[in-house]
């Protein structure tokens, strides 16, 4: 079993990694925006660099409005809804820390 100090060290390491991930995700997003801008400038939806294939195009999407369906057809909704149990895990700092 880990000591309290070991748990703090693990949580600190986790927090540092999460900050790094966020920074990396922001960098990836900035690169994506640059690539999208380039595709817009060229007025193209597909491009091959020879190493990478880049696609930037609209795609139709169909979604199901489950809230509206439930409101309009509550009994039918209950008949098909599935209940499950999920494990919830989170690590946060207390608001006074």
**Which of 52, 55, 24 lies closest to 38 in space, CA to CA?**
55
Residue 89 lies inside a defined structural domain of this protein: no
Residue 86 lies inside a defined structural domain of this protein: no
Residue 61 lies inside a defined structural domain of this protein: yes
Residue 18 lies inside a defined structural domain of this protein: yes
Which pLDDT score is estimated for 11? 97
Residue 93 lies inside a defined structural domain of this protein: no
| Tally of structural domains, the chain | 1
pTM score over 0.85:
no
> H-type helices in the chain, by residue range?
4-42, 66-72, 74-80
Question: What does pLDDT average to in each consecutive run of 10 residues of the chain (97 residues)?
Answer: 97 97 98 96 95 94 96 95 90 81
Residue 76 lies inside a defined structural domain of this protein: yes
Residues spanned by the domain of 12: 4-80
Residue 85 lies inside a defined structural domain of this protein: no
């Amino acid at each position: 079993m880990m000591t309290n100090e070991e748990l703090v060290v693990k949580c600190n390491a986790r927090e540092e990694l999460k900050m790094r991930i966020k920074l990396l995700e922001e960098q990836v997003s900035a690169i994506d925006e640059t690539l999208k801008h380039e595709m817009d400038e060229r007025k193209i939806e597909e491009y091959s660099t020879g190493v990478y294939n880049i696609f930037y195009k609209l795609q139709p999407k169909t979604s199901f409005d489950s809230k509206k369906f439930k409101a309009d057809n509550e009994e039918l909704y209950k008949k098909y809804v599935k209940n499950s149990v999920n494990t919830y895990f989170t690590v946060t700092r207390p608001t006074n820390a």
